[in-house]
C-alpha cells in the first residue's frame, strides 16, 4: 500500500473527529485518510488538536479541547500519572474500557482472522479495577540531593517522582515508599545511568495477595550494599508483612532491571501465593502473573474450555512456571509442559512438588521443537493448551497441532492480533473456533487477554 503523504504540518491546529482507539489508548483521527494518534481523546468525540509530529504514514497530535464528549468519558485529574503512569485509559469509565476491548477483539477477528462469525463474549472485568498489581519495579534517580522513584516518562529517561500507583496493591505502594524513605535516610546514592556510577538502580516489591507475604528486592550496580544491616533492620521494622529481602546485583549498562546474582539479605528466598488451590513459590526473578484475581478467572475459563474428565493427556505449550499445567493437572490424567526459559522450568518442577502433583512432566526447549519430538515418540495430546508471548505461535507448532489432531485446543493470548492470525491457520487446518472469551487482566491499560476454545471438526 502506498504511504499517504501527510496532508498536515507540525504545529497546525485542527478540528477533528475521533474514530477509533488503539491498544496503546490513543484515539485515531483521520485527515484525508492520514491517521493522527491522540492521547486522551475517545472514539465518537470531536475536538481541537495541535499536530505534534508528522511521520510518513501517520502522525501524532495533542488534545487541546474536547468539543463533543463520549458518554464513556470520566473526569480525572490532569496529572502525569493518569496520562503515563500505566493508566492510559483512566479517562474512560470502566464499562467503556470493557466495551472498547471487546470491540478491539471483534475487529481483529474479522479483519485479520476472517472470522466474522466467531462468538466473542463480553470482556470479564474486575469488580474493583484499581490497585490490582502484585508487583512493582520502580526506577530510582536523584533530584536536589534526594532520591526519587516512580515511572519513566514515555520515550524518555526522566523519572516522575510518585509514591502511589493507582493500579498497584496498597502493600506494594507502601513497600516502595518505605524503602525509598529508608534509602534516603541512609543516604544511599542513586544509580546514574549516563555516567554508569552510583548504587541504587531499582526498588522491586512483590506481594502474595492470598498469603500476605511481601518481598523487597534492592537492585544495585555495585556488589557492595552500603549500610546493609541498618537497611534490613529498618525495612523489617517498617514493613511487618515482609518475609524476604533480596539484594540483586546488576552491574551492566542495560535496560534490563535485574542482574543474574541474588543474595538473600533476610528471611526466605521466596514468597508464596495461591491461585485457586494451587500454591506457588515466587523468587525475586521468577515470572508470575501480575493480576492474581483475574489470573484465576482466566485459568478457570481455560480449564472449562479444556473440558477434562480425568482421562486426558494434555500438553501445555509456553508453560512458564507451570501455572496452567498445575491447574489442569488436577483434572487430567497427565500433563506435559514445555517452556524455553530453564529457570522457569526449575520453578515449575518445584511448584509441582510443593503441591504434591505427580502427573506432570516439564521440559526445557522451544515448543515448536519439543512438541514435534514428543509426537514422534508417541505422545499425543487430547487437549493442547498454548499461551504464547505477543508474537503468537510459531508456524511449525501450528502445523504440528494440525497433524497431531488434539480434539481441543485452548489458546490463551495476550495479543488479539496474533491470536486471530493463528486461529485462521488452525481453521484452514481442520479446526473450528467455538468461542473467544476476553478477560481484563490489565484494567486502565489498553491490553486485553483472551482465551479461546478451538475444536477439531468431524471428530
Ligand atoms: N503460561 C504461563 C506463561 C505464559 S507467558 C503463565 O500463564 O504464567 C509465555 C511464555 O512463553 C514465557 O514464559 C516465555 O518464556 C515462553 N516462550 C517464549 N517463546 C517460547 C518458545 N518458542 N517455546 C516455548 N516457550 C516459549
| Cβ of residue 132 lying under 6 Å from some atom of ligand 1 | no
Q: 13-70 with 135-282: one CATH topology?
A: yes
Total Cβ atoms within 10 A of residue 401: 28
Is CATH 3.40.50.2030 what the domain over 135-282 is classified as, yes or no? no
453 C-alpha to ligand 1 centroid (Å) = 19
pLDDT 10s digit of each residue in the chain, 459 long? 555 578 999 999 999 999 988 877 899 999 999 999 998 899 999 999 999 999 999 999 999 999 999 999 998 877 776 666 778 899 999 999 999 999 999 999 999 999 999 999 999 999 999 999 999 999 999 999 899 998 888 778 888 888 889 999 999 999 999 999 999 999 999 999 889 999 999 999 999 999 999 999 999 999 999 999 999 999 999 999 999 999 999 999 998 999 999 999 999 999 999 999 999 999 998 889 999 999 999 999 999 999 999 999 999 999 999 999 999 999 999 999 999 999 899 999 999 999 999 999 999 999 999 999 999 999 999 999 999 999 999 999 999 999 999 999 999 999 999 999 999 999 999 999 999 999 999 999 989 999 999 999 986
The whole-angstrom distance between residue 91's C-alpha and the CA centroid of its chain comes to 21
| Cβ of residue 439 lying under 6 Å from some atom of ligand 1 | no
Instruction: Name the catalytic one among 183, 319, 414, 450.
Output: 414
Residues 242, 216 contacting (CB under 8 angstroms) = yes
Q: What is the per-residue pLDDT for 156?
A: 80
DSSP letters, 170-188, are HHHHHHHHHHHHHHHHTTP
| Cβ of residue 231 lying under 6 Å from some atom of ligand 1 | no
Query: What's the rounded Cα separation, in Å, for the pair 186 and 221?
Result: 17
201 C-alpha to ligand 1 centroid (Å) = 27
392 C-alpha to ligand 1 centroid (Å) = 10
What number of residues does the chain have?
459
| Cβ of residue 160 lying under 6 Å from some atom of ligand 1 | no
Q: Tell me which fold the domain 98-127+291-456 belongs to.
A: Rossmann fold (3.40.50)
For the chain, the domains span 13-70, 98-127+291-456, 135-282
115 C-alpha to ligand 1 centroid (Å) = 26
152 C-alpha to ligand 1 centroid (Å) = 27
pTM (2 decimals)?
0.92
| Cβ of residue 418 lying under 6 Å from some atom of ligand 1 | no
Report pLDDT digits (tens) over 104-150. Answer: 999 999 999 999 999 999 999 999 999 999 999 999 999 998 999 98
Which residue among 286, 301, 327, 340 has the greatest number of ligand 1 atoms within 8 angstroms of its CB, and so is best to mutate?
A: 340
Query: What's the rounded Cα separation, in Å, for the pair 258 and 279?
Result: 25
| Cβ of residue 325 lying under 6 Å from some atom of ligand 1 | no
Q: What is the DSSP letter of 143?
A: E
| Cβ of residue 367 lying under 6 Å from some atom of ligand 1 | yes
Q: Is 118 left (phi over 0), alpha (psi -120 to 50) or beta?
A: beta
414 given a catalytic annotation: yes
Q: Tell me which fold the domain 13-70 belongs to.
A: OB fold (Dihydrolipoamide Acetyltransferase, E2P) (2.40.50)
- Stated as kind and residue range, the H or E segment containing 31 is strand 26-31
Q: What is the per-residue pLDDT for 3?
A: 56
Nearest to 410 by CA among 389, 391, 388: 388
For residue 419, what are the contacts with CB-CB under 8 A and spacing of at least 6? 108, 113, 392, 411, 413, 436, 450, 452
Q: What is the per-residue pLDDT for 78?
A: 74
Q: Whose CA is nearest to atom 19 of ligand 1?
A: 340
Burial of 414 (0-12, 13-18, 19+ CB in 10 A): middle
Total Cβ atoms within 10 A of residue 63: 19
Query: What's the rounded Cα separation, in Å, for the pair 133 and 259?
Result: 23
Total Cβ atoms within 10 A of residue 41: 28
Beta pairing class for 334-339 and 313-317: parallel
Report pLDDT digits (tens) over 330-361. Answer: 999 999 999 999 989 999 999 999 999 999 99
Amino acid at each position: 500500500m502506498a504511504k499517504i503523504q501527510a496532508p498536515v504540518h507540525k504545529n497546525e491546529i485542527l478540528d477533528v473527529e475521533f474514530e477509533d482507539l488503539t491498544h496503546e489508548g490513543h484515539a485515531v483521527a483521520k485527515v484525508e485518510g492520514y491517521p493522527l494518534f491522540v492521547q486522551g481523546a475517545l472514539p465518537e468525540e470531536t475536538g481541537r488538536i495541535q499536530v505534534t509530529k508528522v511521520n510518513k504514514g501517520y502522525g501524532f497530535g495533542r488534545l487541546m479541547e474536547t468539543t463533543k464528549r463520549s458518554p464513556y468519558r470520566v473526569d480525572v485529574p490532569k496529572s502525569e500519572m493518569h496520562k503515563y503512569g500505566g493508566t492510559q485509559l483512566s479517562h474512560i469509565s470502566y464499562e467503556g474500557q470493557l466495551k472498547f476491548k471487546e470491540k478491539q477483539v471483534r475487529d481483529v477477528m474479522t479483519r485479520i482472522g476472517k472470522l466474522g462469525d466467531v462468538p466473542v463474549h463480553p470482556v470479564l472485568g474486575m469488580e474493583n479495577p484499581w490497585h490490582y498489581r502484585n508487583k512493582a519495579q520502580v526506577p530510582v534517580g536523584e533530584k536536589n540531593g534526594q532520591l526519587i522513584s516512580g515511572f519513566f516518562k514515555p520515550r524518555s529517561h526522566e523519572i516522575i517522582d510518585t509514591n502511589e500507583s493507582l493500579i498497584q496493591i496498597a502493600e506494594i505502594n507502601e513497600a516502595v515508599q518505605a524503602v525509598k524513605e529508608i534509602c534516603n535516610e541512609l543516604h544511599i546514592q542513586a544509580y546514574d545511568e549516563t555516567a554508569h556510577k552510583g548504587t541504587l538502580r531499582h526498588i522491586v516489591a512483590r506481594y502474595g495477595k492470598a498469603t500476605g507475604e511481601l518481598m523487597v528486592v534492592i537492585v544495585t550496580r555495585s556488589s557492595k550494599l552500603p549500610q546493609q544491616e541498618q537497611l534490613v533492620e529498618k525495612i523489617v521494622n517498617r514493613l511487618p508483612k515482609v518475609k524476604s529481602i533480596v539484594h540483586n546485583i546488576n552491574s551492566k549498562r542495560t535496560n534490563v532491571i535485574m542482574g543474574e546474582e541474588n543474595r538473600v539479605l533476610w528471611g526466605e528466598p521466596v514468597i508464596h501465593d495461591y491461585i485457586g488451590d494451587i500454591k506457588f513459590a515466587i523468587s525475586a526473578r521468577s515470572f508470575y502473573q501480575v493480576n492474581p484475581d483475574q489470573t484465576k478467572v482466566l485459568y478457570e475459563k481455560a480449564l472449562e474450555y479444556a473440558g477434562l474428565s480425568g482421562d486426558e493427556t494434555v500438553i501445555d505449550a509456553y508453560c512458564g512456571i507451570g501455572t496452567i499445567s498445575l491447574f489442569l493437572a488436577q483434572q487430567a490424567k497427565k500433563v506435559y509442559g514445555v517452556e524455553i526459559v530453564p529457570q522457569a522450568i526449575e520453578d515449575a518442577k518445584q511448584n509441582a512438588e510443593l503441591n504434591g502433583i505427580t502427573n506432570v512432566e516439564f521440559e526445557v526447549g522451544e515448543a515448536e521443537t519439543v512438541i514435534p519430538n514428543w509426537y514422534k515418540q508417541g505422545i499425543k495430546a487430547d487437549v493442547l493448551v498454548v499461551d504464547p508471548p505477543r508474537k503468537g505461535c510459531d508456524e511449525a507448532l501450528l502445523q504440528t497441532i494440525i497433524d497431531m489432531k488434539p480434539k481441543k485446543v485452548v489458546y490463551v493470548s495476550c495479543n488479539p492480533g496474533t491470536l486471530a492470525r493463528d486461529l485462521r491457520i488452525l481453521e484452514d487446518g481442520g479446526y473450528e473456533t467455538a468461542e473467544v472469551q476476553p478477560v481484563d487482566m490489565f484494567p486502565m491499560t489498553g491490553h486485553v487477554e483472551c482465551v479461546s476454545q478451538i475444536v477439531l471438526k468431524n471428530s
